[in-house]
Amino acid sequence: MRALVIPETGGTEVLTVEDVPKPKIGRKDVLVRVKACAVNHTDVWIRRGYEGDPPIVTGIDVAGEIAEVGSDIESFDVGDRVVLYWNTTYCGECEFCNDGETTMCRDYGGLGVKRDGGHAEYVAVEAKHAVQLPDTVSFETAAAIPSNFGTAWRGLITRAAIGPTDDVLVLGASGGVGHGAVQIAAHAGATVYAASSSEEKAKRLRELGADDVIDYGEVDIDEAIKERTDHRGVDVIFESVGGETYEQAVRSLARGGRLVTIGATTGDADHALLHYVFWKQLEIIGATGATMGEFEDMLEAVFAGDIEPVIDSVIPLEEIPTAHERLSAGEGFGKIIVKP
Ligand SMILES: NC(=O)c1ccc[n+]([C@@H]2O[C@H](COP(=O)([O-])OP(=O)(O)OC[C@H]3O[C@@H](n4cnc5c(N)ncnc54)[C@H](OP(=O)(O)O)[C@@H]3O)[C@@H](O)[C@H]2O)c1
Ligand SMILES: [Zn+2]
């Protein structure tokens, strides 16, 4: 079968479309014919050598059709439409897995990171990691959500426990995760602020549920938040940009505020701003991925039509190198989807 392979770390020139063996399934598995799979920053981090261990077929977020069913499996038939939970490699035995915290397992990773993923014609997973897709949800939509909206859901709903009384600010808001965070915060009844880099992106964020959007090219985020909240600050910030915005984020929090950090696209922060953290009694909360339960809760909101991903573009395997470049430049809005 054809697949996009990272054979070794390097620039986008190392990315190659190759013929690789079609996966074989065991008794508890299903073979999925990939219909759509997202491109993620993790793919870029693996290529650059920050994460994972090439050679690997990338592709974390997979939607497709069941092509073969293992002999023990009665829950799926050939032809069923499914979306996959990506974290398929958690050990199931450690202290975290025993508590249901599978994203804290040292083997967290799964498709496209710790084992071959969905930038290929087929993927095999245990059937328990596949979820039936309603006919109303396209493969492209389904592939845009798993690790992106899943991480936003865990960060805001589980880790920060947001609710209707919270003012929430989303940074990196036009990104795959960020535009999910905006919708999930609005869905939870919060007042939603977003920071973004252009008027065009701001318009789209307002359509997705942001009550107010700050153009950070024009004004410092913390100054804008001070002005809008009468110097109080916001209760919760959902942050994925990292070094370029972390300090402004900390300065934008109200007393007792929570900063949910899920990424560092622009690298580490220079200063922790400890005096703000203790004086204002802030909480810095990390979040990564989503458990199967959080994934299913998030899917319910998507299937109900309450939240919906934006598809930036749909591309063939051969255009994945360009997709890496666009992600690194912070271009586009929502998710780039590959149709292998
Ligand atoms: N912990 C986890 O489980 C987890 C899960 C998914 C992703 N992540 C991480 O979270 C980060 C965001 O992921 P994503 O998929 O949402 O990425 P994305 O789709 O590329 O979006 C990132 C957004 O950040 C903003 N940005 C601001 N400054 C930037 C810069 N210098 N370069 C690039 N973007 C910049 C841009 O939005 P504006 O133009 O609107 O500012 C951009 O759209 C990545 O670092 C990713 O690795 C972590
Ligand atoms: Zn474990």
pLDDT at 92: 97
Rounded alpha-carbon distances, angstroms, from residue 179 to 207, 228, 322: 11, 21, 22
DSSP line for 139-181? HHHHHHSHHHHHHHHIIIIIIS---TT-EEEESSTTSTTHHHH
What pLDDT shows up at residue 126? 98
- Cβ–Cβ < 8 Å for 130, 158: no
Residues 6+ apart with CB under 8 A from 169: 192, 193, 194, 195, 221, 225, 234, 236, 237, 238, 249, 252
pLDDT at residue 83 in the model: 98
Look at residue 124 in the predicted model and tell me its pLDDT.
98
Nearest Cα to Cα of residue 115 among 105, 106, 125: 125
Q: What does the pLDDT read at residue 50?
A: 96
Q: Say if CB 244 and CB 268 are below 8 A apart.
A: no
pLDDT value of position 252? 98
Query: pLDDT at position 152, please?
Result: 98
- Contact by Cβ (8 Å): 277, 253: no
- Residue list, ligand 1 pocket, CB within 6 Å: 40-42, 147-148, 151, 172-178, 196-197, 201, 240-241, 244, 262-266, 288-289, 327, 330
CA angle 185, 220, 288 (to 5 degrees): 40
Look at ligand 1, atom 43, and give the residue with the nearest C-alpha.
Answer: 175
Nearest-angstrom CA–CA distance, 62 and 38: 7
Q: Give nearest CA residue, ligand 1 atom 22.
A: 175
Closest alpha carbon to 133 in 124, 143, 148: 143
| Closest ligand 1 atom to Cα of 178 | 16
Mutate to test the pocket of ligand 1, among 37, 39, 41 (most ligand atoms within 8 A of CB): 41
CA of 175 to the centre of ligand 1 (A): 5
Query: Going residue by residue through the chain (340 aa), what tens digit of pLDDT does each one get?
Result: 999 999 999 999 999 999 999 999 999 999 999 999 999 999 999 999 999 999 999 999 999 999 999 999 999 999 999 999 999 999 999 999 999 999 999 999 999 999 999 999 999 999 999 999 999 999 999 999 999 999 999 999 999 999 999 999 999 999 999 999 999 999 999 999 999 999 999 999 999 999 999 999 999 999 999 999 999 999 999 999 999 999 999 999 999 999 999 999 999 999 999 999 999 999 999 999 999 999 999 999 999 999 999 999 999 999 999 999 999 998 999 999 999 9
Question: Which ligand does the CA of 309 lie closest to?
Answer: 1
Distance (angstroms) between ligand 1 centre and the Cα of 240 equals 6
Q: Quick one: tokens of 313?
A: 């573009």
CA distance 298 to 304: 10
How far apart (Å, rounded) are the C-alpha atoms in residues 149 and 75? 25
Q: Which of 240, 298, 322, 326 to mutate to test the pocket of ligand 1 (most atoms within 8 A of CB)?
A: 240
Q: Can you give the pLDDT at residue 325?
A: 98
Alpha carbon distance 313, 188 (integer Å)? 28
DSSP result, 26-67: -TTEEEEEEEEEE--HHHHHHHHTSSS-SSEE----EEEEEE
- Ligand nearest to the Cα of 101, by number: 2
Q: Largest Cα–Cα distance in the chain?
A: 63
pLDDT of residue 271: 97
Q: Is the peptide bond before 23 cis (omega within 30 degrees of 0)?
A: no
* C-alpha 14 to ligand 1 mean position (Å): 23
Where do the domains of the chain lie, and which CATH numbers do they carry? 2-145+309-338 (3.90.180.10), 149-286 (3.90.180.10)
Kindly provide the b/e burial profile for residues 29-58, where b requires at least 16 CB atoms within 10 angstroms of the residue's own CB.
bbbbbbbbbbbbbbbbebbeeeebebebbb
What pLDDT sits at residue 52? Answer: 93
